[in-house]
Structure 1
Amino acid sequence: MRSFYHYMMRYRGNQQADEEKQLADWMFEDHDFPKQATTYDEISRYLEWNIPFTNALSVFDRLFEAYQLEED
């Protein structure tokens, strides 16, 4: 199973400046982000302590659900 970080890198470089791109860019630039993580709890905890923008957690929740569907 690939990591959530790897899954999110598909949103980097999007022409459209949306929340998915914003989260992916932030994850790429944050050297402490748990890049090998595959579990909701580990990533969610990290985001709760290091929230990059106001609704980042809701964006994460939505994208993590899509990640799980694709990886299963």
Structure 2
Amino acid sequence: MSKTFYQFLMTQRNPESYEPIAEFANNAFFDQSFPKQSTNFNEISKYLELNGNYLPSMTVFDDAWQKYLDLNNH
């Protein structure tokens, strides 16, 4: 079974990094309401649009999602 997006995102955490996906992961870790069990792009995207004030741009999510897909397809 493949990982949820949140599980993937947690592999990108790095408190020492200023890389956008690492910062996204660091902030999502502290977001108690993040849809942790989801593998659905639209569900996570909608959640972040409404609640992801720690995300400077949805492009960061799009880049992270593409990385997630690339890992799950190999």
TM tier relative to shorter chain: 0.7 to 0.9
What are structure 1's unaligned runs of at least 5 residues? none
Q: Are 1:45 and 2:14 an aligned pair?
A: no
- List, as ranges, runs of 4+ consecutive aligned residues in structure 1 with deviation greater than 4 Å: none
Q: Which has the higher helix share?
A: 1
Runs of at least 5 residues in structure 2 that lack an aligned partner in the other structure: none
CA apart distance, 1:14: 5.0
Matched, 1:66 2:67: yes
Q: TM-score, normalised by structure 1?
A: 0.87
State the TM-score, normalizing by the size of structure 2.
Answer: 0.85
Paired residues in the alignment total 71
Q: CA RMSD in A?
A: 1.3
Q: Percent of aligned pairs with the same residue?
A: 32
- SS of aligned partner of 1:11: coil
